[in-house]
A and B are shown apart, each in its own frame.
Chain A
């Protein structure tokens, strides 16, 4: 087996060869402990950038965070001169990959910049200047370096709208951007040399890719036909040259439902979460539950928020079709356990799920409306106005709750009858 790479000679950062024509020219950030506010890392991270050499010029794929630009340029200079650079490709425009771009464009003004179709407005917003010409590319577009060809795969929302992968055809190397990446800094670089990064790989997926599972599956449809590849070269973490296909398979596994789903085809799932101080919102919840259960082909579940940690509920919500929240109003607000759950859902896709809210209140009852607004903000559909009941629900009011549950369940099945309403009558 070959030896781990040498990253520095006499204090000068050096490029690391993936092959005769491909070099890693990135930066290592072992001290980082928090990334993008939302991610912890026990092992720092790396900002991977690459140089590809063809007989008609050089391509640079991604750059690094601005504070690591010196290492990036030193490594680049160890394997190429700036006047050789014909092509600069950005797979993803987040600042940790574009921090050295302005200086690189300054040093290699002849280079043509390639970004994805969806990256155009972001490039302008990131650089706050209009000086760079660029070529937007889509899946299947190619750029030639003579005897080396780079082709693009548009993989939106992995994890920004702009993200793409670039494939070096002749060497079967996939420069995957953040896809298949992780925050794990190890100077040995290659996955057959580095320490155990399995946790980091899974953690990265859970926080960065999980909200976009549908897009991950679409991207894998583009990537899997390339297999077997020789190397997957992501923008963070180890370079995957040993069994790279197993990481593709793992992404496919992780992009399935988090929980085994016992619901049969044609059935919909409706989850009702509630919390109650004096039992009034609980009585409403039970009535909503009864009403929804009367509708066939809807699997309804009722959960008291006091009875669980948040994480299992997040898994349940990810797989559900409809969500109803029952919250009392205390001091003019919905209660903290409800907000805690509703502020923990950024890791799952909620778009177009059905939402509804109900709750008992003492004197003003703002909580229901506030949670409805939050659900709309989370991109749920909230077609049926929520139910607010002052203190103890009467039997008539309980019947209103049953009807609310029934309507929600019917809506999930698309059973609502065509209706014409005037905008002025909408809440």
Chain B
């Protein structure tokens, strides 16, 4: 199975995880400062800055785009509970 390499910049830890894993699952296990709320893409608590590897994550859904807009999220932000890793290298940090 394809693996992705996700670096959590706030704690300086890189995790290799299977493609399809949601960022929040990895973040939670490794203890990054990315925190979650509803885990269902609704509350915006887990907004995360993607500093590298944007295209190595699944595309945001229409719903995620809407929540990001409503929360006035920045350009390179994603919801960690929605974004799944696809492969390659990704770097993220809490906003």
* A→B interface (CB under 8 Å): 117-118, 120-121, 136, 138, 161, 351-352, 376, 379, 381-384, 411, 414, 416-423, 426-427
Contacts and interface: CB of A to CB of B under 8 A. Distances in A.
25 contacts: A117-B70, A118-B70, A118-B71, A121-B70, A136-B70, A161-B71, A352-B33, A352-B35, A376-B28, A379-B36, A379-B45, A381-B11, A381-B32, A381-B33, A383-B13, A384-B31, A416-B12, A416-B13, A418-B13, A418-B14, A420-B5, A420-B15, A421-B15, A423-B15, A426-B30
Contacts of B5: 420
B44 interface: yes
B21 interface: yes
B18 interface: yes
A311 B44 CA distance: 30
Nearest to A420: B14
Nearest to A376: B28
- Interface residue tally of chain B, by bracket? 20 to 34
Contact of A419 (B13, B18, B26): B13
B14 A423 contact: no
A119 B5 CA distance: 36
Nearest to B6: A423
Contacts of A426: 15, 29-30
A383 B18 CA distance: 20
Given A117-B70, A381-B35, 12 more contacts: A121-B42, A352-B33, A352-B94, A376-B28, A379-B35, A383-B11, A383-B32, A416-B11, A418-B12, A421-B14, A421-B15, A423-B21
Interface in B32-88: 32-33, 35-36, 42, 44-45, 66-67, 70-72
A423 B26 CA distance: 7
Nearest to B31: A383
Contacts of A121: 42, 66-67, 70
A383 B70 contact: no
Contacts of A376: 28
